[in-house]
Amino acid sequence: MFRFANPYILYLLLIIPAAIVLFIFAQMRRRRRLERFASSSLLAQLTPSASPARLRTKFVLYSLALVFLILAAARPQVGSKLREEHQKGIEMMLVVDVSNSMLAEDFEPNRLDRTKFAIDRVVESMKQDRIGVVAFAGEAQVQLPITSDYRMARAFARKLSPQMVRTQGTDLGAAIKLATMSFSSQSEGSRVMILITDGENHESDALEAAQAAAEKGIAIYTIGIGTPEGAPVMIGGEYLTDENGDMVVSKLDEKMLQEIASTTGGAYVRATKQSIGLKEIVDRLKELDESDLATTRFEAFDEQFQYPLVVALLLLLIEWLILDRRNPLLARFNIFGRQEE
């Protein structure tokens, strides 16, 4: 496994293109100033030791040296030893509705953004459990397989959007089936599914899927986000309308979510504008029996910073040896070309 111990330092690489632009601008400005006094051929005769090619070469060498110094400072590392860790915990699949109805604004800024914020806060506080993410609308997709990498889980949760799925609608059954198949074999007895949706199911097999999940020991906790009064759905600055041109109003449907939770031995929570209920469910899950979860990690990483550092020092040495002007003793070798600018 390859990684950088200090990846944020790589942002310094943005200095390089900025330096190139400034160098080109400075060279053009210098040339225009010189041409005010004499032509290029006359300047070459008046300043025989001047060497623009040398300046460009020194700049390229210096820029490359800076790139390798930044890479060295970021501390590239290669994993050298694997270790299997065992810890007690549960496996949790977050099944998140990303259909267009989740863009309704009865929760600020909308239902989906409020859900993503709650997921981010909960994952930030997790320590030993594993988490996965399934996004669904008219179809379901695994966005993040079961993992203990919480940083990756937060990154994937932030990217949840209706564009993740090709088919719009709300198929709760397909989402539950896919999430049921996404648990690992290590977590039997400690599997939990948290379904976050407005409950508008457009298919009929949600309860059958929930029953199949219950038979595998999976409890489904459901969170209904939205209001019974509903709210219009805004997409691209315009409100969504139906085939008759009427504004679509998305309303919370709690009945289906309550039945799914009851079938699997979970619980239903109705989101409020103060809390969508995700943290309360996760806190309750701490009382569940935990399984022995094995995780393979890289135990040791070998530092590789010395290689880009050596390259950088060699480039700086070469840059230092090249004079800004022609060396009379080496002029006959014409290293930078027969005719220099």
> How many residues in the chain?
341
Residue 19 has what pLDDT?
92
| Rounded CA separation 230/249 (Å) | 6
Interval 221-247 mean pLDDT = 88
Residue 281 near residue 223 (C-beta atoms within 8 A): yes
pLDDT of 99-141, one tens digit each? 999 999 999 899 999 999 999 999 988 887 889 999 999 999 9
Question: Measured between alpha carbons, how far is 276 from 154 in angstroms, rounded to an integer?
Answer: 17
> What dihedral do alpha carbons 218, 223, 224, 225 form, nearest 10°?
-140
Domain 86-295: top CATH class = alpha beta
Beta partners for 222? 195, 268
Q: What is the dihedral of CA 167, 169, 174, 180, to 10 degrees?
A: 100
- Give the chain's radius of gyration (CA, Å): 31
Q: What is the pLDDT of residue 31?
A: 74
Helix/strand/coil for 191: strand
Q: Delimit the CATH 3.40.50.410 region(s) of the chain.
A: 86-295
Q: What is the pLDDT of residue 2?
A: 81
The SS3 assignment for 1 reads coil
Pairing of strands 191-197, 218-224: parallel
Residue 65: CB atoms within 10 A of its CB come to 20
Cβ atoms of 319 and 61 closer than 8 Å: yes
- CB-based contact 62:20 (threshold 8 Å): no
Whether the CB-CB separation of 161 and 173 falls below 8 Å is answered with no
Pairing of strands 268-270, 2-4: unpaired
Tokens at 276, concatenated: 């969508």
* SS3 (DSSP) at 221: strand
Left (φ > 0), alpha (ψ -120 to 50) or beta: where does 245 sit? left
- Report, as an integer, the average pLDDT of 291-305: 61
Lowest-pLDDT choice from 47-56, 201-210, 244-253, 326-335 = 326-335
Name residues whose C-beta falls within 8 Å of residue 232's C-beta, 6 or more positions apart in sequence: 104, 105, 239, 240, 247, 248, 249, 250
Return the exposure string of 208-247: e unless at least 16 CB atoms fall within 10 Å of the residue's CB, then b: ebbebbbeeebbbbbbbbbbeebbebeeeeeebeeeeeee
DSSP 252: -
pLDDT tens, residue by residue, 173-211: 999 999 999 998 776 778 899 999 998 776 668 999 999
> Mean pLDDT over residues 46-69, rounded?
81
Does the pLDDT value for residue 28 go beyond 80?
A: yes
